[in-house]
Structure 1
Amino acid sequence: MEDPAQIIASYLQHISYDDLNDKVIREVKRRLIDSIAVARGALNAPPIQLSRTLLSNFPGNSLTIDGYRTSPDFSAFYNTFMIRYLDFNDTYLSKEPLHPSDMFGALLAVGSLFDKSGKDLILATAIGYEVGVRLCDSTSLRHKGFDHVNFLEVATAAALAKLLNLDEEKARNAISLSIVPHVALRETRVGELSMWKAGAAAEASRNAVFSALLAMAGITGPKTPFIGKFGFMSLIAKDMDLKVFDNLGSPNSILRTYIKKYPVEYHAQAAVDVAKSINYEGEITKVVVETYEAAKTILADTEDKWKPTTKETADHSLPYIIAYTLIHKDLWLDAYDNLTDPKVVDLMKKIVIEEVPEYTKVYPNELPIKLTVYTTKGVYTNEVRVPRGHSANPMSDEEVEEKFLRLNGKREELKLLWDLENVKVSELVRSLTKS
């Protein structure tokens, strides 16, 4: 049995920009536009401001996407923290979930430092998505107590290995050095959630950059980080299905991932859609929510999700998200400004959440949710099976641009981002920092 690190490292050597189809190239651009948008929206968030105070402790020449110079690994950490903080960047749901565009934090930090081209960035991104998606198809980590950012780390290391044009041995070492020392625990996402909900991805990004740079310099890592005696599969994921790496070809798995329309955890995207659609009259007396296992166990698992006291918990709280949307008929970043709003708190107490086996069976191809709202004037119900932004119901380019502009993006930046294959990464990052 060949170690996945070796399989991936070998794969990297045989894929070039010319292997990418037009749909994949355009989707990479859409995801970069989306990532810059959500990073902009998080500029003044408390953990980003706190991280900014540390920039001077990590001197270097890597330019962050908001204009600071620091070391490449801390630049990756800082960039990714911005991209992830709002919980508004893209998602993939399979045996394990992932937010694959988290890797842009690392790719922009390294790509700008090493003067890589837009085509280099597009290719590295497509490969990173391919690796990340296939890893998520191989096994569940959350049920074992480990976090999805372990797969982000490997995918980002692979993307960086391609971006830096590492040979097969160095690419394998980059992957090995990313996963062996840095296994992340699921405790990050249990109960009341802290700033580390987003910080975990930032740390994975930072680790991947440092690992790739070590490998580029010639530092070696264990040859069998997955299948070795004390490797990832041996200790954590014995059921990992390596058949997911069969038939590796032109990377197109990015087309199976989803963009978020609302700033909530992905299992709640359809909840916002369906809550917005219900035009009820009278005073609400009860709300019955029918959905699938993952939505219930992730977004309504503990008492904290019924009484959120942090933004990080609220955007992972199905009761809060549904109550807020039923009252306000929309949900945007300001939904988390007043978590003690008595109207929302009172309505949460009237919400009942049930798992429907039929819904669980169709997950993740569909993400169904049904709301039944009981009021003093009647009963109102509706169902959404696939939210807007899902690969089966994708957002249009115009909708992606609208999200970018609503999150303080500039139209002139859009022109540069859509023309990514014709610009240098350093030129792109400098342009973003001037806006």
Structure 2
Amino acid sequence: MTHSQTLARFIYDTRYENIPEEVIEFTKLCILDWLGSALAGKDKAPIQMINQFVEEIGGNPQSTTITGMKTSAVNAALLNGAASHIVELDDVHKGSILHAGTVVIPAALSIAEARNCSGKELIEAVVVGYEICFRIGEAVSPSHYYYWHNTATCGTFGAAAAAAKLLGLNEEQIASALGSAGTQAAGLWEFIEDGAMSKQLHPAKAASNGVISALLAEKGFTSASKILEGKRGFFKAMSDVFDESRITHGLGASYKIMENSFKVHASCRHTHPALDMIIDIVKENPIPLSQIAKINVNTYQVVLDITDNPDPQTVYAAKFSLQFCVALGLINQSASLKDFNEDTLWNETIREVMSRIDLSVDPVVNESYPEKWGAVVEIELTNGKILSKKTEYPKGDPENAVSSQDLITKFEQLTSGYDGKETKMYMERIMNLEKFSVVSNFFEKEMEGELWGQEKLHQQ
């Protein structure tokens, strides 16, 4: 069997009834976490530009966008994927180095609404979508990640898997959907040099291309049978070193969605290990800035590749500047969404502290990446004393987990600008998702029944 056929069989065979309860509950938390980021991001300028684009091109009113528009399932996935990535608080997986929620869930929701799927079917789709993109991401990482944004490339496969599951495709059709996903997989890191808006286009296109792949496969559209392992396939074309065994090892024995991590800081995940440590140090040892001679951050090479930016010029670029994030964490003891703004970006004290920060690669930490995303942070004081802390797992990793209540609180904070009844409504819908026979009104604000219009939905 080809890798696509193996994955297709797993996708086809996965059934809600066989998914453990803890996986179901965790999956609902992933959906809630995705929605919080999407609602917080929907009014940002790049998302409004994509919203205008979707309005202009039109589309059959099949699915709802986070902005309240009815459009095609493809366009809804496009817009909703972009919206959930922009505030930098979406989930992440260490081994595959990707944000699955921002590509899988928009694709799944758009098809679930268009085809009147049930809550259980939506959960199935999200579970298999995470599984597939995590496995493909692990197979090509970390070498793939230098040029390619894994969320954009590997995420396309996850979106296709989720959409294919909801469309009820057979194994042959699912394999074709994966083939079409692979040939559309793209997303280069060059945007980071300019702090450009392309990063939002990455999950947008991954989600929408996944939907396109599945919808075409439903009609009998064929694709490369060995899109992953073929001589001109995904592995050889897009990775210097790859491990094919990651595709099948333990497949079906457990669910990789349980390896998912959640963000607590509103910045690139690669800044989080150092952020955690600098905040812990200053909370335990209040230090006047005048007594700090130097701050050393020793971490893995990818951190420097992605976040070594001593002079960010925009708020968004600041989220990808380790120097800025460490200085912000030192001074504010926080790096939440509200901490990143124009005032902090140009704050003279933060800028001065940034000049005292030195970044370097720690060989031991680097060797452990991407299984462990670690950092060693040292504050050298003017009296010669050194305050130091290290971590292998930033807060939010399974090994350093946040609670379900933490994620609910995070959702409430991200949606604090919304009416409290509306946010409570969304929480009730998601946390009772398996009870609903249709999820076609996910974004509808007012419905009959106590929980997400349960009576109305069952009557349809």
Q: Any conservation in 1 of the 2:46–2:200 contact (CA below 8 Å)?
A: no
C-alpha deviation, 1:292, in angstroms? 2.3
Q: Any conservation in 1 of the 2:34–2:105 contact (CA below 8 Å)?
A: yes
CA distance in 2, matches of 1:403, 1:247: 32
Change beyond 3 A, Cα 1:433–1:204: farther
The one-letter code matched in structure 1 to 2:97 is P
Q: 1:309 corresponds to which residue?
A: 313
**Matched ranges for 1:59-138 at <5 A:** 59-61=59-61, 62-94=63-95, 96-102=96-102, 103-138=104-139
Pick one of 444, 455, 459 that aligns with 1:430.
444
The one-letter code matched in structure 1 to 2:54 is L
C-alpha deviation, 1:66, in angstroms? 3.3
Pick one of 239, 245, 258 that aligns with 1:237.
239
CA distance in 1, matches of 2:185, 2:213: 10
C-alpha deviation, 1:429, in angstroms? 2.8
The one-letter code matched in structure 2 to 1:171 is I
Paired-residue identity, %: 25
Q: 2:210 corresponds to which residue?
A: 208
Q: Does 1:371 align with 2:377?
A: yes
Pick one of 309, 322, 329 that aligns with 2:326.
322
2:443 partner SS = helix
CA distance in 1, matches of 2:216, 2:145: 32
CA distance in 2, matches of 1:433, 1:193: 41
Pick one of 383, 387, 394 that aligns with 1:381.
387
Q: Does 1:287 align with 2:295?
A: yes
Q: Which runs of 5+ in 2 are unaligned?
A: 417-422, 453-460
Per-residue CA deviations over 1:203-251 (Å, capped at 9, x if unaligned) read: 1111111111111122222222223342223433374322221342155
Moved more, 96-105 or 267-276: 267-276
C-alpha deviation, 1:341, in angstroms? 2.0
- TM-score (ref. length: structure 2): 0.87
**Matched ranges for 1:215-294 at <5 A:** 215-237=217-239, 239-244=241-246, 245-277=248-280, 278=282, 279-283=286-290, 284-294=292-302
Cα RMSD for the two superposed structures? 2.2
CA distance in 2, matches of 1:309, 1:46: 17
Q: Any conservation in 1 of the 2:93–2:259 contact (CA below 8 Å)?
A: yes
CA distance in 2, matches of 1:155, 1:299: 26
CA distance in 1, matches of 2:23, 2:278: 33
Q: Any conservation in 1 of the 2:144–2:238 contact (CA below 8 Å)?
A: no
Change beyond 3 A, Cα 1:322–1:15: same
The one-letter code matched in structure 2 to 1:44 is D
Q: 2:18 corresponds to which residue?
A: 19
Per-residue CA deviations over 1:381-411 (Å, capped at 9, x if unaligned) read: 2314122211101110110000000111622
Q: Any conservation in 2 of the 1:157–1:212 contact (CA below 8 Å)?
A: yes
The one-letter code matched in structure 2 to 1:233 is F
C-alpha deviation, 1:68, in angstroms? 0.8
Q: Any conservation in 2 of the 1:92–1:98 contact (CA below 8 Å)?
A: yes
CA distance in 2, matches of 1:331, 1:182: 32
Moved more, 344-353 or 25-34: 344-353
The one-letter code matched in structure 2 to 1:269 is H
CA distance in 2, matches of 1:243, 1:217: 31
Q: Any conservation in 2 of the 1:139–1:239 contact (CA below 8 Å)?
A: yes
C-alpha deviation, 1:143, in angstroms? 5.1
Q: Any conservation in 2 of the 1:194–1:312 contact (CA below 8 Å)?
A: no
The one-letter code matched in structure 2 to 1:139 is V
Q: 1:4 corresponds to which residue?
A: 3
Q: Does 1:408 align with 2:422?
A: no
CA distance in 1, matches of 2:446, 2:385: 49
The one-letter code matched in structure 2 to 1:324 is L
Per-residue CA deviations over 1:31-55 (Å, capped at 9, x if unaligned) read: 1110111111112211011112123
The one-letter code matched in structure 1 to 2:380 is Y
Q: Which runs of 5+ in 1 are unaligned?
A: none
C-alpha deviation, 1:371, in angstroms? 2.2
Q: Any conservation in 2 of the 1:195–1:312 contact (CA below 8 Å)?
A: no
How many residue pairs get aligned? The number is 428
Q: 1:195 corresponds to which residue?
A: 197
